[in-house]
Amino acid sequence: MIRRVRNLYRIAFVVMVVAGAAIVNYSPGAKAQAASAGADKKDGLQAMYATAAEVAEGKRIAQATCVRCHGLDGISTAKGVPHLAGQRPAYLYLELRAYQSGARGKKVMDGAVEFLSDDALVKVAAYYASLDPAQPFAARGAKPVPDPVQAGKAAAAACAACHGEGGISKTPGMPSLVALEPKYLVTAMKGYKSGQRKHDLMKSLLAAVSDADMNNIALYYALQTPARAQTPAAGNQAAGKTAAVACGGCHGNQGVSANPAFPSLAGQDAQYLATALQAYKNGSRRDEAMKGLAAALNDRVMKDMAAFYAAQPPQPLNIRRPLTTAEWAQKCDRCHGANGNSVDPFMPALAGQRMEYLVKVLHDYRTRVHQSSAMAAMSDALTEGDIENLAAYYARQKARTVVFVPVPGK
Ligand code: HEC
Ligand code: HEC
Ligand code: HEC
Ligand code: HEC
133 with 85: CB under 8 angstroms?
yes
Rounded to whole angstroms, the Cα distance separating 277 from 295 reads 9
CATH number corresponding to 2-141+344-408: 1.10.760.10
Residues contacting ligand 4 via CB (< 6 Å): 34, 36-37, 82, 328, 331-332, 334-336, 347-348, 350, 353, 358, 361-362, 370, 372, 374-375, 378, 382, 390
Of 205, 217, 201, 96, the closest CA to residue 152 belongs to: 217
Give 196 Cα–ligand 2 centroid separation in angstroms.
15
* Per-residue pLDDT tens over the stretch 83-110: 999 999 999 999 999 998 888 876 778 7
Ligand 2 pocket (Cβ < 6 Å) reads 156, 158-159, 161-163, 174-175, 177, 185, 188-189, 199, 201-202, 205, 209, 217, 263, 275
For domain 148-311, the CATH superfamily is Cytochrome c-like domain (1.10.760.10)
pTM: 0.82
Amino acid at 316: P
Q: Are 346 and 91 in contact (CB under 8 A)?
A: yes
Give the CA angle between residues 235, 240, 243 to the nearest 5°: 145
10 Å Cβ neighbour count for 67? 12
Phi, psi of 11 (to 5 degrees): -135, 155
Does residue 113's CB lie within 6 angstroms of at least one atom of ligand 1? yes
For the stretch 285-298, what's the b/e string if a residue is b when 16 or more beta carbons lie within 10 angstroms of its beta carbon?
Answer: beeeebeebbeebe
pLDDT at 140: 59
Nearest partner of 359 among 46, 139, 155, judged by Cα: 139
With a 6 Å cutoff on the Cβ, whether 303 touches ligand 3 is no
d(CA 288, CA 305): 20
Which sequence spans correspond to the domains of the chain?
2-141+344-408, 148-311
Query: How does DSSP assign 44-81, residue by residue?
Result: HHHGGG--HHHHHHHHHHHHHHTHHHH-TTS---STTP
> 17 in the Ramachandran plot: left (φ > 0), alpha (ψ -120 to 50) or beta?
beta
CB of 16 shorter than 6 A to ligand 1: no
- Check if 2-141+344-408 and 148-311 are the same fold: yes
Low-confidence ranges of the chain (pLDDT < 70): 1-41, 106, 137-142, 403-410
In short, whether 82's Cβ falls inside 6 Å of ligand 1 is yes
